[in-house]
Structure 1
Amino acid sequence: MEEIRCLLWLVMVFGAGNPRIWTALHRYETPQRTCEVLRAGSDPELHLPEHTQRRIRQTGKAQIDEMLARCQKLELSILWYGDDLYPEQLFSIVNPPVLLFYQGNPELLQNHLLLTIVGTRNPSEYSLRVEKTICHDLVQLGFIPVTGYAVGIDITANLCALEENKPSIALMGCGLDIAYPLPHANLKYEIAQNGLILSEFLPGTTPAPANFPLRNRVLSGLSMGTLVVQAPARSGALITAENAMEQGRDVFCVPPADIFDKRYMGVIKYLRDGAIPVFDSRDIVYEYYTNHAHMIAASALYDENREKSESLVMALGEKTAKQKASKSEEQPSESHPTEPDPVIDPLPEEEILEGLPGQVMELLRPQTVMHVDQIAAELDAPMDVLMTTLTELELYGKIERLPGKQFRVL
């Protein structure tokens, strides 16, 4: 508790997200020692500005007690960087928050598939349809959306999780007690019941413009990757995407409905710079399946009977091949008989069991899914030869190619 009191004092003096806090903590090693030195003014090398020195003189035990009492009244808890529940992934970013105020389940920050979802506050109908499709799939598969709780794309992701009775996380750019944004001021308490709301800003902090860039470094840092659904060239969502790239996280982007639509210019930029295009929820899932298969609800992923929206990016309004086949069987047409699909001669079994094709089949049979890079490493095969072999096996119906350059035996 003493560490929290000291860190709370530092945040009240320097302001949330101020890197000077970490400079002082690294210099004096513990929060207690840092507070002692700063209060005594015994280190002139810190070169503290006058307004900070004034806050040091004005902020004492009474102010700390008042803030803690306010948190208790609001039913807010506090995580500090030495807490067991503090998200370990934040230690890999520049200037992680020393404190996080929260309400809800902080265990969601540990060992879960967190995906940050950001975008414009004024999304198009197309973007909302695509986002809802992807988000509904992802939350069923075990992913937890993390948003900045802004109107538009952000809150839509939280709403998708609520509709599926799944958790989501909202990271605020103001105090958790502030009614912001007004259209959804009370929604955050619904999120907290099954998920988590949190902020590094002190209760009572208003949503000033300078807060949001500070928030965005944490927004990207909490997750394995960031999905940008729609963003114009100067969107604040792109700050989060930029942070994600600098932090070594994945960046995903939904391709625009119209490449000339300026509302998508930010997305186009990141797709050009190497962001992963997302045409379906599986484009995200397969990026993490190899290392996190135990955390993904694979039964939902491969269940062909599960309900899917018709708003997939590249097939809006189309039915699945299985649905088409079923309809064709139910309503046969005598005047227009269906022409059978061309038949590929089956690959003789003895050829499958020989050479590289046989090695591929033997490797894939006990596996659920394998990435092409892993197959190449296991078999020590040249990539061009391996890709030719995989294509042939796919044509002969022996294996299936999945999004993300992954394969499995049929």
Structure 2
Amino acid sequence: MEEIRCLLWLVMVFGAGSPRIWKALHRYGSPQKAVEVLQKPESDAALHLPEHTLRRIRQTGEAQVEEMLARCEKLRLSILWYGDEAYPPQLLSIVNPPVLLFYQGDSSLLQEHLLLTIVGTRNPSPYSLQVEKTICHDLVQMGFVPVTGYAVGIDITANRCALEADKPSIALMGCGLDVAYPQPHANLKYEIARRGLILSEFLPGTSPAPSNFPLRNRVLSGLSMGTFVIQAPARSGALITAENAMEQGRDVFCIPPADIFDKRYMGVIKYLRDGAIPVFDSRDIVYEYYTSHAHMIGASALYDETREKSESSVMTLGESDALQQPSRRKQRPPEPEIPEETEPDPAIDPMPEEELEGLAGEILSLLQRQRVMHMDQIAAELEVSMEELTTTLTELELYGKLERLPGKQFRRMR
């Protein structure tokens, strides 16, 4: 059997997420060799397989594998497998990565995109929903792709925010993709797939058993750069995802609770104590990735002049309620201000027209179209060395042709 069929056989025998799959792969060196030995378990006395696994081995042959592949084709499900070029590289670093992922939609979202896992309770408060919608709206406009476990409440709200903005999102299921779960939102996942991606490591037809969800959560955190916890009580599945994120070296973000005595937020408080990054505004997340991923972030949304730069999304949800906390707002570091546009210094001669025909002209033309761009993005677009770009940007700035913004951002002067 070819590699994908061998991996499918292993999943059908051991079950999705079973660490026994990786033990077999490491022991025998390849999926093909693992299947060859396991189909004759008496050839390796050290296996010590339980009876129910031996029974599955006897019941699962090439015919059953072909039937499963035919079922996937009928359901229009594609498969990513470990070792394939399209397999998400970020999962290669987690413990026990899924050997197969069944999906429908745009799998390219799993590579070279700003993925952010968003999790929380199934019964969010109005405060949490309002905060989530405000911040998610900003994030998807700036190029972030929400990744959720597709549970009711916080998860599906994040997917809906992306759909309403006509932006992609990702839903990772804890059951087979053909299973109608959760029942009230069974068809929404196909809307997500049309614009984004739905995926699962569980075989088609797998019911949403409680044991599936902790398994799913290691992949949920592993797909993204960070996990954003909106609201979670002390005992919450969302905290399993946050714990996985910390173990995987990913960032954990949390919304500060509206009331520190509210038990619905005890899980969030725990992670804030443990070093999670508090989020008062979408920019608290954006700035964590600005240095390394600036070319992927929609800076025009970040520096939208209609935004109130001194205000926090969380702190300004209502003018007359307890969310207004001036003392906390004073403690926040000042947001970077975009300087007012100024006229060129009259002491500097106008830039010679011939200079505008080379790299300087290309930069100004690019900024005319993009409005605000990071230095790294300009270099990539124009395929120019950083040394040459820095010199030309400095000249353009001196001649008053463009303006330098915080974070190595530039925009053309009007």
**1:215-226 equivalences in 2 (<5 Å):** 215-226=216-227
User: 1:359 maps to which residue?
Assistant: none
C-alpha distance in structure 2 between counterparts of 1:59 and 1:189, whole Å: 31
Q: CA–CA distance in 2 between the matches of 1:176 and 1:256?
A: 34
How far apart in 2 are the matches of 1:183 and 1:311?
A: 34
Residue of structure 2 equivalent to 1:243: 244
Secondary structure class of the residue paired with 2:46: helix
1:30 to 2:30 alignment = yes
Deviation of residue 314 (structure 1)? 1.4
Q: CA deviation at 1:83?
A: 1.0
Report the alpha carbon displacement of residue 368 of structure 1 after superposing the two structures with TM. Answer: 5.9
Query: In structure 2, do the counterparts of structure 1 residues 44 and 270 end up closer, same or farther at CA, with 3 Å as the change threshold?
Result: same
The equivalent of 2:206 in structure 1 is 205
Displacement of 1:317 in angstroms is 3.0
Partner deviation per Cα, 1:284-332 (whole Å, 9 max, x = no partner):
0000000000000001100122699x9921122359xxxxxxxxxxxxx
Q: Which residue matches 1:164? A: 165
Question: Which residue of the partner structure matches residue 363 of structure 1?
Answer: none
Structural mapping, 1:144-183, within 5 Å = 144-183=145-184
2:312 aligned with 1:315, yes or no?
no
CA contact (8 A) 1:174 1:201 kept: yes
Alpha-carbon separation, structure 1, partners of 2:47 and 2:223: 31
1:408 deviation in Å?
Answer: 8.3
1:252: which partner in 2?
A: 253
Partners in 1 of 2:410 and 2:267 — Cα distance? 39
Give distance in 1, aligned partners of 2:45 and 2:194.
47
The one-letter code sitting in structure 2 at the alignment partner of 1:14 is F
Report whether the alignment pairs 1:135 with 2:140: no
Counterpart position of 1:327: none
Q: Secondary structure at the match of 1:216?
A: helix
Per the alignment, residue 262 of structure 2 pairs with 261
SS at match of 1:44: coil
Aligned to 1:17: 17
Instruction: Tell me the equivalent position of 1:227.
Output: 228
Match of 1:388 in 2: none
What residue is the counterpart of 1:350 in the other structure?
none
Partner of 1:328: none
Distance 2:288 2:375 in 1: 12
Partner of 2:79: 78
Partner deviation per Cα, 1:98-120 (whole Å, 9 max, x = no partner):
00000001000001000000000
Q: How does 1:38-49 map to 2 (within 5 A)?
A: 38-41=38-41, 42-49=43-50
Asked if the contact 1:300–1:306 (Cα under 8 Å) also holds between the matched residues in 2, the reply is no
In the alignment, structure 1 segments of 5+ residues that lack a partner are 320-366, 371-398
1 CA distance for matches of 2:300 and 2:20?
A: 48
Opposite residue 15 of structure 1, the aligned amino acid is: G
Q: Verify the 8 A CA contact 2:281 2:312 in the aligned structure 1.
A: no
Tell me the distance in 2 between the aligned counterparts of 1:204 and 1:409.
Answer: 52
Shift of 1:251: 0.1
SS in 2 for 1:115: strand
Q: Secondary structure at the match of 1:176?
A: coil
Q: What TM-score, normalized by structure 2, do the two folds share?
A: 0.76
Number of residue-to-residue matches in the alignment:
330
Q: Which amino acid aligns with 1:24?
A: A
Amino acid aligned to 1:170: A
Distance 1:270 1:313 in 2: 18
Contact 2:257/2:268, CA 8 A, preserved across alignment: yes
Match in the other structure for 1:93:
94
Q: Distance in 2 between matches of 1:214 and 1:99?
A: 14
Measure, in 1, the Cα distance between the counterparts of 2:152 and 2:28. 41
Query: Structure 2 stretches of 5 or more lacking a match?
Result: 321-372, 377-403
Partner of 1:342: none
Per the alignment, in what secondary structure is the counterpart of residue 235 of structure 2? coil
CA deviation string 1:145-180 (max 9, x = no partner): 000000000000000000000000000000000000
The residue type paired with residue 272 of structure 2 is L
